[in-house]
Amino acid sequence: MKLPKIEILDEKNKILREVSKEVTFPLPNEDKKMIKDMIDYLTLSQIEEERKKYDLRAGMGLSAVQIGVLKRIFVIVEEVEHEKFKNYIIINPKIISYSEEQIYVGEGEGCLSINREVEGIVPRYARITVEAYDELGHKFQIRVREDIAIAFQHEIDHLNGILFIDHIDPKNPFKNQEKMREI
């Protein structure tokens, strides 16, 4: 696998603040290639040797808007075993239910579009059910929890022009921490 030629936009880019458009099917070939490139990029970023070779930051999720394409598409690449990955291809997602319980990432959320340290907690639902489409246009539902639920919510935010830093209270970055569970 070689590193695809994609450029991840920085938080200063105004495109990241735009709402992405619904996708229609069948997907054009350039969208299929973009999805493959995003998966390859994330996979390489999670393999230590490749990450060092290409000087990448590790990432598990990427939205089309982060590479300048305003379409409601994101991918998650989850390492399930050492260098074995599960890929999620999510198109036109809608959160249809969520848990009452809220969680946050203890060491803080990160984003490939935000190249700086950010202190504070981002409240997320512990479990969500999402309705979406796969790359063939088949509708499906998926229930995700814990870190994958956080990744889904983070990427859905991107599709709506929201960055994780928007969820952090600048005056009190650890606000309501005691009401949530750390993961």
Residue 86: half-sphere exposure toward Cβ, Cα within 13 Å: 4
Handedness of CA 102, 105, 108, 112 (dihedral sign): negative
Q: Does the pLDDT of residue 36 top 90, yes or no? A: yes
Total domains in the fold of the chain: 1
The beta-carbon contacts of 26-31 under 8 Å, at least 24 apart in sequence, are: 26/136, 26/137, 27/91, 27/135, 27/137, 31/71, 31/73, 31/135
Q: Does the pLDDT of residue 1 top 90, yes or no? A: no
pLDDT tens digit string along 3-25?
999 999 999 999 999 999 999 99
Does any domain span residue 76? Answer: yes
CATH number at residue 46: 3.90.45.10
Does any domain span residue 2? Answer: no
Q: Hey, what amino acid is at 148?
A: I
Does any domain span residue 8? Answer: no
Residue 34: half-sphere exposure toward Cβ, Cα within 13 Å: 24
Chain position carrying tokens 């036109």 = 92
Name the catalytic one among 100, 117, 119, 155: 155
pLDDT tens digit string along 92-134?
999 999 999 999 999 999 999 999 999 999 999 999 999 999 9
Does any domain span residue 1? Answer: no
155 is catalytic: yes
Does any domain span residue 4? Answer: no
**C-beta of residue 9 within 8 angstroms of C-beta of residue 16:** yes
Token output for 26: 């069948």
Domain containing residue 75: 14-182
Does any domain span residue 122? Answer: yes
pLDDT tens digit string along 48-102?
999 999 999 999 999 999 999 999 999 999 999 998 999 999 999 999 999 999 9
Does any domain span residue 172? Answer: yes
Does any domain span residue 3? Answer: no
Structural Rg of the chain based on CA atoms: 16
> Can you give the pLDDT at residue 137?
97
> pTM for the whole thing?
0.96
